Amino acid sequence: MFFKQSIWDFVKERATELSTPYYLLDEERLLRNMEKIAYVKDKSGAKSVLALKCFSSWTVFPLMSKYMDGTTSSSLFEAMLGYEKFGLPGQGKETHAYSVAFSEEEVREVRKFATKIIFNSVSQLKRFHDIAKGIPVGLRINPGVSYSHFALADPARKFSRLGSVSMAEIEEISDSLSGVMFHCNCENDDLGALSKILNTISEKYGELLRKLDWVTLGGGIYFTKEGYPLDSFCEILKEFSEKHDTQVYLEPGESAITRAGFLVTKVLDIVHNEIDIAIVDAAANVHMPDLVAYQEDAKIDLPGGGSKTEHKYQIAGRTCLAGDIFGTYTFPGTLNPGDLIPIADAAGYTIVQKTWFNGVPMPSIVVKRLDGKVEVVRTFTYEEYLNNLS
């Protein structure tokens, strides 16, 4: 994919102006995902609401809200953020409010502005239905099928608390529903597997869906990934929507921002213990915690050129956790203290999850706007670290 400037040229060019570590959000790369989301809506009718749990950097919401229909949330605070920063119902934007478990006070608060409330269980729905009355109410259903390579993220795993499983319970309250949510995918780039899941949903819940106004298929569908069969995806969504005469929603988190962000780090030290290890001024467990939770390597789009000799380094973080490792990569040249290393695909589940563990400086947030302007939108200070504690 061609971009105006390679990430390596960018970080080199801005080396004196931007202090590391920093998250870089690139609107040019973000736009590529947004255009795919808009294409899906145009071809299939499916609306997309941004899953704030994955990405909540509201500095780029003005761009995203031109292409997406609103936000969905996992808590009162996320719902408030979506409402405040993504656009109001009067501007055609939706604020879906979902939580694995709401407190009564939260339902009272969220119902003041949410455009839909989605309960995770029939018991919550029954308890709070009277408070929520007046806005469309939905229920999360666990259809018993899913696509996930990780038990940690599998919503249909044994004993899952995520969504209602009892058909009898669902039928009992079905008259109070305006829609339902199925979130049962995680990093699913296999259209055939998705199609099977949708068939199961149709077979099991077809009768219910026909009575409802909307159904959200959740997130975890990797449809903005390079090479994904987008047109076939649109056909499947359109067919599903027509068959059940319902408005389909998608809740992309990762798909909305994939490949649009970097964590730019600097090498602080090179050590050797059988292998060469470059320690950078950021931390995998602190600034990209899913890498450690899911035991995955970070992506680094290695620069071309250099010598023919292989220069292999483990890139590791600076916390005291032994497993604070980004991954092992072969560089075209040797690495030295002071070298900059941009870690790719670093926007999703990173900025929203970063912590102050070990007192490691928090990466600032830098945005490269569509017009090429570079803005440092947020830096973090010692005072913020201090005030985060007590």
Ligand X SMILES: Cc1ncc(COP(=O)(O)O)c(C=O)c1O
Binding residues for substrate: 254, 290
Determine if 138 is a binding residue for ligand X (CB under 6 A): no
Q: Kindly state the DSSP code that residue 260 receives in the 8-state scheme.
A: S
The residue range among 192-200, 253-261, 360-368, 377-385 that interacts with ligand X, by the rule CB under 6 A, is 253-261
Nearest residue (CB) to ligand X, 21 versus 252: 252
**What's the Cα-to-Cα distance from 56 to each of 24, 36, 74, 276, 378, rounded to whole Å?**
14, 20, 12, 36, 14
Nearest residue (CB) to ligand X, 63 versus 153: 153
Single-letter amino acid code for the residue at 111: R
DSSP-assigned letters across all residues of 157-190:
STT--SSB--HHHHHHHGGG-SEEE---BSSB--
Among 82, 87, 179, 220, binds ligand X (CB under 6 A): 220
- Under 8 Å between Cβ of 251 and 219: yes
Nearest residue (CB) to ligand X, 140 versus 318: 140
Q: Kindly state the DSSP code that residue 327 receives in the 8-state scheme.
A: E
> Least distance in Å: CB of 54 to ligand X?
4
The token pair at 298 is 């970070």
Determine if 345 is a binding residue for ligand X (CB under 6 A): no
Rounded CA-CA distance 17/20 in Å is 10
The token pair at 102 is 């709401």
CB-based contacts of 44, cutoff 8 Å, min separation 6 = 233, 234, 235, 237, 238, 241, 248
Number of residues that bind ligand X (CB under 6 A): 13
Determine if 30 is a binding residue for ligand X (CB under 6 A): no
> If you compute the radius of gyration of the chain from its CA atoms, what whole number of angstroms results?
22
Nearest residue (CB) to ligand X, 36 versus 53: 53
- Under 8 Å between Cβ of 183 and 325: no
Determine if 44 is a binding residue for ligand X (CB under 6 A): no
Nearest residue (CB) to ligand X, 205 versus 331: 205
* b/e code 18-46 from CB counts within 10 Å (16+ = b): bbbbbbbbbbebbbbbbebbebbbeebeb
The residue range among 20-28, 218-226, 328-336, 371-379 that interacts with ligand X, by the rule CB under 6 A, is 218-226
Determine if 54 is a binding residue for ligand X (CB under 6 A): yes
Residue owning tokens 């099928």: 145
Among 138, 219, 289, 363, binds ligand X (CB under 6 A): 219
> Least distance in Å: CB of 177 to ligand X?
17
108 CA to centre of own chain = 27
Determine if 51 is a binding residue for ligand X (CB under 6 A): yes
Residue owning tokens 């597997």: 193
Determine if 290 is a binding residue for ligand X (CB under 6 A): no
Determine if 361 is a binding residue for ligand X (CB under 6 A): no
> Least distance in Å: CB of 250 to ligand X?
8
> Least distance in Å: CB of 77 to ligand X?
16
Determine if 69 is a binding residue for ligand X (CB under 6 A): no
Dihedral sign, Cα of residue 121, residue 126, residue 131, residue 133: positive
> Least distance in Å: CB of 78 to ligand X?
11
Among 246, 255, 350, 364, binds ligand X (CB under 6 A): 255
The residue range among 24-32, 167-175, 189-197, 246-254 that interacts with ligand X, by the rule CB under 6 A, is 246-254
Single-letter amino acid code for the residue at 117: I
Per-residue binding string, ligand X, 171-210, x by CB under 6 A, is ------------x--x------------------------
Determine if 346 is a binding residue for ligand X (CB under 6 A): no
The residue range among 35-43, 237-245, 248-256, 305-313 that interacts with ligand X, by the rule CB under 6 A, is 248-256
27-44 helix and 230-244 helix, angle to the nearest 10 degrees: 40
Determine if 94 is a binding residue for ligand X (CB under 6 A): no
Among 26, 69, 251, 324, binds ligand X (CB under 6 A): 251
Determine if 70 is a binding residue for ligand X (CB under 6 A): no
Rounded CA-CA distance 221/255 in Å is 7
- Considering only CA atoms, which of 251, 230, 232 is closest in space to residue 240? 232
Q: What does the binding site for ligand X look like in residue numbers (CB under 6 A)? A: 51, 53-54, 183, 186, 218-220, 251-255
